[in-house]
Structure 1
Amino acid sequence: MRPEETLQSLWTLAALPPEALAFARLNGTDPVLPSSFAVGTAAQASIAAAALAACELGHLRGTARQEVAVEMLHAALECTAWFSLDGRVPPQWDPFSGLYRCADGWVRVHANFAHHRDGALRLMGLDPSTAQRADAEAAMRSRNAIDFETAAAEAGLVATALRRFDEWDATPQGRAIAAQPLFTIERIGEAPPLALAPLAESQPPLAGLRVLDLTRVLAGPVGCRALAAFGADVMLVNAPHLPNIEAIADTSRGKLSTHLDLRSKAGQTSLEELLAEAHVFVQGYRPGGVAELGFGPEQTARRRPGIVHVSLSAYGTYGPWARRRGFDSLVQTAMGFNHAEGEAAGEGKPRPLPMQILDEATGYLIAMGAAAALWRQQREGGSWHVQVSLAQTGQWLRGLGRIPGGFEVPSPKIEPWLESAASGFGELRSMRLSARLARTPVAWRWPSMPPGSHPARWP
């Protein structure tokens, strides 16, 4: 599918005005990174959709439409999420993360968080304090892949068996995902349109909007970072007792960052005070987790009529895996992408996609969905619920088709696309945003700062 057609399909699903598509400028064609999948198209279309939706909301607030340009290679490189701190490039993976050969196939383990790593090692029968990668590889050779996947899920851990596309399609979860749209935007309550000040032509399209970001890895932070780039005030809410990965330095650009312990009454009260002035609430808790704390979609709609609540999950809201935890790399493995990439490359072993495109594209779909729901809220009133998942994005990516000769393209240089800025983590060198707005260039209002750097109040 051509990039323009892909963008049009996203726009139609969001029910936004078709005349706005005339202001999109998409350059480039796949392949731009070594892959048999249209990862460049997925990156470009999702980023363009997010930027164009933000601009359409700005247009509804009184400004002229403006051109949005996205170059495919730049978009794809942005989605590699490369960054450095004081000249050091943080490792992307824990040594225990990755594929393990089993007695009857492969299993991918996600071990970037210590509690996930230690839990997986104990499930292998190993002592986390002494185990080495070679010990884990030896332990897994006698295991059944599906049995290990099932045991990990039952223990609240994150590991998936490698499947082919046809094997995934035959699973109940595969059938559930195939029956769902890429994303949904649903009205969940009654409310008048929230008061939004008219914009001046020089203001970014989301100026004056307030976004609560209750996400950690990686799609949610990317989506909320995009909303910040288009002018929104974004408050990242972290729990002081929960760990983070170093990518938070890159994904916190443009955000305020506060600490709230939502297990406590004080933390819940502070969040409720922030919610009272928010327009968007984005959460990536395990399915049902945020509702247990009193901030599920219907609960936030009652507390803040007119809110747009965005829910991110790994495997969607239907099917036996709906409550399973997951990460991009695991969803790639479970759904068949790793097998298909390895087969296309002729390497004789599974191969990951060249970037975590399920995370990145889903992140920009979060930004698009939030802006589209706000557009509807301004026209119709109501409270709204946007739902996205990594697996639904995977199903969409697969539907974009395969790229013959996709591995023949050389790996491009990243230096032309980098920018540097001071941050609370050190000198941050990272990818510039690829969406270029003709009248109001994207910009970061605040530097990236560590969790808890700001008070729990809006500026």
Structure 2
Amino acid sequence: MPASADFRPVVPPHDEASGNGDAGAALLDGVRRELGIDRGSTVLPPPPTVPLPSRLATGALAWASVSAAVLAAGCSPVSLDPARVAIAYRSDRVLTIDGDAPPVWSPYSGFWETTDGWVRTHGNYPHHAAALRAGLHLREDADPAAVRVALAERRTASAVSDITSAGGLAVPVAVERPAVDRALRERPLLEVSRVDEESASHPRRSELTATSPGSLPLSGMRVLDLTRVIAGPVCTRTLALLGADVLRIDPPHLPEPAWQHLDTGHGKRSAILDARSARLQVLLAEADAVVLGYRPAALDRLGLHPELLARRHPGLIVAQLSAWGTESPDLAGFDSLVQAESGISRIESAEGGRPGALPAQALDHSAGYLLAAAVTTLLRRRSREGGSRIVRTSLRRVAAELLGMPRRGDPAAEVDFDVRPHLARFDVDGSALVTARPALPGFEFRAPHPWGSDQPVW
């Protein structure tokens, strides 16, 4: 029998809607312990219900992740607006440029049925779309119908092999593997390590001091942003929101889709630079933190291995984010692929047939806020103790966390509310941009710079 006929919502014995709030509080406490965040005398009320309806505890994950960033900044999450958090996690749905909603998904990205199951593909970047067509032996002008026919003739393993061998992105829509997730949860969600530095002498780095009224928590901090897509840019966007000087660097040969940059580029400068250039090393030497979002193997090839950077640049905070973790250094991935491979897509299947998805790219957004919490905390710790530190997490590790939280038999109904109070408006190089406002209470975004419009200098 085809695997696609076996889809059933997976509901563990601890299924209870009310458990989601408790799970969110437990997750936040776990993150606080891992990072050593002191919430002071703040007594948090029960977490509100964030309107991100799903079988899994997506809303609780979102609340805990944003709250961690708020606590790390020295603020209180008591005033978190659950609707604001939901809109921030679904920011691509409210984004408009000159009044138009941009096409977010490529027609080559999605679920496709095979002879024995389903695969999930990702073709949003042109080179990934071209590789998918090459792997399936399709013409350059192939439409989604041609992709559907080509995949319907293949077994799942063959389809994934054909596409990935050509450099494309595809994973099987797999069943949940509780033992794998338990093993992942035995490791920290945010894995922090201190690195011995090569030299005690280094350029004086800025130190965080107690914030004065009107100042931002990360004022004076320089953050180099070497990330793409959503999770890493959400992290660095949050650091910019908290006052850091964030400089995003992109390679000359790989333009970022305009909508994607504008959705997560708030408050950052954007420059084009070859990562192998001497200029990048100068930027690293003068940075307080660097956020890495490329595959671990690609970082090694570019001479950007986290341990190497931390040793070479004393006092540097290095944050590494990947899709699958350092155990799969050559494997590229995105939120949608991790959802499919980890079993989330089967759990969220509406009727046990076609695979489903979370109500937002919640693995991406949560990883971004959690990593921002870690960088903020480590910058504060460096001011007290000195030293270089590395923090790591992955979308797959976040997925394991979500899969271990209470779930419900059926998702709650969508909640209608007025989104207008949760929107920000900017003029970016003559274009009218509407985006989601920050999930963090009390802060407001600055406008994104046009992609590649700045010089690679501090």
Same fold (TM over 0.5): yes
Could you tell me which residue of structure 1 aligns to residue 82 of structure 2? 72
Helix, strand or coil at the partner of 2:364: helix
Q: 2:68 aligns with which of 49, 59, 67?
A: 49
State the partner residue of 1:87.
99
Q: Percent identity?
A: 35
- Superposition map of 1:205-216 within 5 A: 205-216=217-228
Distance in 2, matches of 1:103 and 1:225, equals: 42
| 1:442 lines up with 2:443 in the alignment | yes
| Aligned-pair CA distance for 1:223 | 0.6
Q: What is the deviation of 1:316? A: 0.9
Are 1:134 and 2:145 matched, yes or no?
yes
What is residue 255 of structure 1 aligned with on the other side?
268
Amino acid at match of 1:455: Q
Moved over 6 A (4+): none
Residue matched to 2:453: 453
Q: Is the 8 A contact 1:26 1:71 kept in 2?
A: no
SS at match of 1:393: helix
The separation in 1 between residues aligned to 2:136 and 2:165, in whole angstroms, is 14
Structure 2 counterpart of 1:81, one-letter code: S
**Which of 173, 192, 202 lines up with 1:162 in the alignment?**
173
Could you report, residue by residue, the CA deviation over 1:344-377 in whole angstroms, capped at 9, with x for unpaired residues? Answer: x326321111110000000111101111222322
Residue type matched to 1:414 in 2? V
Distance 1:39 1:390 in 2: 14
Alpha carbons of 1:66 and 1:134: their partners in 2 closer, same or farther (altered >3 Å)? closer
Give how far 1:226 is off: 0.4
> SS of the residue aligned with 2:132?
helix
Which residue of 2 is the match for residue 355 of structure 1? 360
Structure 1-normalised TM-score?
A: 0.88
Matches within 5 A, 1:372-391: 372-391=377-396
Q: Which runs of 5+ in 1 are unaligned?
A: 56-64
Do 1:109 and 1:330's aligned partners in 2 also have CA atoms closer than 8 Å?
Answer: yes
Are residue 333 (structure 1) and residue 344 (structure 2) matched?
Answer: no
CA contact (8 A) 1:315 1:391 kept: yes
Q: 1:195 to 1:131 in 2, by over 3 A?
A: closer
Partner of 1:58: none
* 8 Å CA contact retained: 2:70, 2:76: no
Cα deviation digits, residues 179-210 of structure 1 (max 9, x gap): 43212011112459944163423201111111
Q: Aligned to 2:433, what secondary structure does the other structure show?
A: strand
Alignment of 1:402-421 (within 5 A): 402-421=407-426
Measured after TM superposition, the shift of residue 426 of structure 1 is 1.5
CA-to-aligned-CA distance 1:414-446 (integer Å, 9 cap, x gap) = 33311211113721101111211xxxx31335x
Distance 1:164 1:332 in 2: 11
Confirm or deny: 8 A CA contact 2:67 2:77 kept in the other structure: no
1:218 maps onto 2:240 in alignment: no
Secondary structure of 1:237's counterpart equals: strand
Which range is displaced more, 288-297 or 79-88? 288-297
Q: Distance in 1 between matches of 2:38 and 2:82?
A: 24
> How many Å apart are 1:250 and its aligned residue?
1.5
1:101 aligns with 2:113: yes
**Count of residue pairs brought into register by the alignment:** 429
Which deviates further from its counterpart, 176-185 or 42-51? 176-185
Q: 1:27 to 1:76 in 2, by over 3 A?
A: same
What CA deviation, in whole Å up to 9, does each residue of 1:301-329 have, x standing for no partner?
233201001111111122xx343100000
Q: Which amino acid aligns with 1:259?
A: I
- From 305, 318, 338, the counterpart of 1:309: 318
Please give the TM-score of this superposition, normalised by the length of structure 2.
0.88
Give the structure 1 partner of residue 9 of structure 2: none
2:432 to 408, 419, 427: 427
The 1:6/1:217 distance shift into structure 2, 3 A limit, reads same
**Distance of aligned partners of 1:143 and 1:413 in 2 relative to their CA distance in 1, 3 Å threshold:** farther
Q: Which residue of 2 aligns with 1:281?
A: 290
Tell me, in whole angstroms, the C-alpha distance in 1 between the residues paired with 2:237 and 2:46.
22
Work out whether 1:7 is the aligned partner of 2:7.
no
Matches within 5 A, 1:151-190: 151-166=162-177, 169=178, 177-190=184-197
* DSSP-derived class of the 2:101 partner: coil
Name the counterpart of 2:7.
Answer: none
Q: Distance in 2 between matches of 1:451 and 1:348?
A: 41
How far did 1:144 drift? 1.3
CA pair 151-404 structure 1, distance change in 2 beyond 3 A: same
Contact 1:33 1:411 in 2 (8 A): no
Query: Which sits farther off after the overlay, 293-302 or 328-337?
Result: 293-302
Cα drift, residue 37 of structure 1? 1.5
TM-aligned CA distance change 1:46 to 1:335, over 3 Å: same
Contact kept, 8 Å, 1:43 with 1:361, in 2: the verdict is yes
Decide whether aligned partners of structure 1 residues 154 and 287 sit closer, same or farther in structure 2, where only a CA change above 3 A counts.
farther
Mean CA deviation greater in 397-406 or 81-90:
397-406
Aligned match of 1:59: none
Deviation readout 1:31-58 (Å, 9 max, x if unpaired): x133112111111111111121122xxx
Separation of aligned partners in 2, 1:387 and 1:453: 30
Aligned to 1:300: 309
Residue 17 of structure 2 is aligned to residue 16 of structure 1? no
| AA partner of residue 424 (structure 1) | D
> Residues 279-336 of structure 1: CA distance to partner in whole angstroms, max 9, x if unpaired?
1100111112123222221222233201001111111122xx3431000001001111
Segments of structure 2 that go 5 or more residues without pairing to the other structure are 1-19
Letter in 2 for 1:188: V
CA gap 1:47/1:302 in 2 versus in 1, 3 angstroms: same
Give the distance between the partners of 1:149 and 1:100, measured in 2 at CA. Answer: 11
Aligned partners of 2:115 and 2:154 also within 8 Å: yes
Residue in structure 1 matching 2:397, options 392, 399, 402? 392
